Structure 1
Amino acid sequence: MGLLDLMFGRSGEGQQGIEGHSYKLPEENHEFVYPVAVRRIELEALEALLAADEAAPSLADNADELQDTFDELFDGDGPDATAVADREREARGTVERVLETWREQVPEDDDGIGVVYVQQAEFEAIRAFVKRCTDRDERYDEFELPESMPAVAALLARLGETTDSRYRAVVHTDLLPEA
C-alpha cells in the first residue's frame, strides 16, 4: 500500500459513468457532509441565543407542572413532559457541540468567515433549537431573543439552502463535532 493509498484511500476505475479514477475512503473515519460558509458574527449570535436559553427557565424545571397540564388537556393520554424536555436538552447539546467545533474552524477576526461541515441531523437539531427559542419569545414573558437574532436567522437560512442541495463532500471525522 503506497502513501497515496494511506492518504486518499484506494484508487480504482471511475464509477457512475465518470471516466478517470475515484477514491474509496475508509467509512470508519469519513462522513458525507454539507460544506457551509459561516461568519464569526453568526457563531457569536448563536452563542448569544444559547446564553438566552440558558438564562430562562427551562422546560425540565417545570416538567411536573407541564405534565399536569398535558394530563388535563389530553385526559391522561398526552405527551410525556419529561420526554419532551429530554428532546429539547438533546437538541441544545448538539448545538453546543457543533458550535464548539465551528468556533475552531472560523477565524476570530471581525471579518472572520470560514467553511464548516454540517450533517443533516445537526442541521435538524439547530433548526429545532432556534424554532423553540422563537416560539418561547412569542409565548413567554421570561424569554427574550437576543438582538443578534437576525444573524442566527441568516445562518439557519444558509444551512437550510445548503442541506437541501444535492452537493455533499466527504471529510475526515476529525473535522466534525464529537457525537
Structure 2
Amino acid sequence: MSDFEFIFVLYALVLGLSLVELLAGFGRTLENEFESDADGTRFRFGWLTPLLGAFVLLDLLSFWMFAWTIQSLITVSPSALLGVMIFAASYYLAARLVFPTRPELFEDLDTHYYRVRRTVMGILIALVFAQWAFLYSVEEVRAAVFTPMTLGLTAMLVGMMAATMIVKNRHFQAVLLVALCVRYLVIYLI
C-alpha cells in the first residue's frame, strides 16, 4: 500500500460520509415536501438550500479530485493524518449543516439557508486557504500552481463565496449560487 492509499482511505471515508450527509438531507427535505403536499400543510422548498447543497457537492468533488492530483506529494506522518482528518471533518460539518435535520420545523427552507450560509461558506473558504497553504509549502509545485490564471480563478471563487455570506437579497443569492455551480461545471468539463 502506498502512502497516498493509506491516507486517502481516511480522506475518502470522511468525504464519502459528507456526500451521504448531503444526499440524506436532501432526501429528508424532499420527504417533508411530499408530506406537506399530502396533508395540506405549508412548506416552501425554495431554491437557496438546494443550490447550496449542489455547490457544496461540487466543491467536495473538487477537493476529492485535488487529492488525486497531489498523490505523489503525500507521505504518511502523524501531522499528515491529523491535517487530513481536520480537513475532511471540516467538510463533513459543512455538508451536515446544508439541510436541516428536521425540515418539518420550517415553513420556508430559505430561512434555514440564511441561518447556515455564513458558517458553511466560512468553512469552505477556510478549506480553500488550507489547500493553497499546502500547495505553497510544496516547493516542487509552487511555481506551476501560483499562476495568474489559477490565482484569478481562486479569487473569483472566494469572492463569490464571500458575497453569499454578505448579500441578503434572495435573487442575488440564487444568482451567486448558480454562478458558483456553473464555475465548477465549466472547470470539470474543460
Question: TM-score normalised to the size of structure 2?
Answer: 0.37
Higher helix share: 2
Higher strand share: 1
Question: TM-score normalised to the size of structure 1?
Answer: 0.39
